[in-house]
Amino acid sequence: MAKIKYPLFSKEVRGSIFGQLTFSKKITGQQCRSQNSQVDFVNPARVYVRHTFKLSTQWWNLLTADEKLTFSGYSKADI
pLDDT per residue, tens digit, the chain (79 aa), is 455 555 666 667 777 777 777 877 777 777 778 877 777 788 999 999 999 999 999 999 999 988 888 887 776 665 5
Q: What is the pLDDT of residue 45?
A: 92
Q: What is the pLDDT of residue 56?
A: 92
Q: Which residues of 11-32 are buried (b: 16+ CB within 10 A; e: fewer)?
A: eebeebeeeeeebeeeeeeeee
Q: What is the pLDDT of residue 77?
A: 61
The residue ranges of every structural domain in the chain are: 3-34, 44-74
Amino acid at 58: Q
pTM across the whole model: 0.43
- Entry field: residues in the chain: 79
Q: What is the pLDDT of residue 6?
A: 59
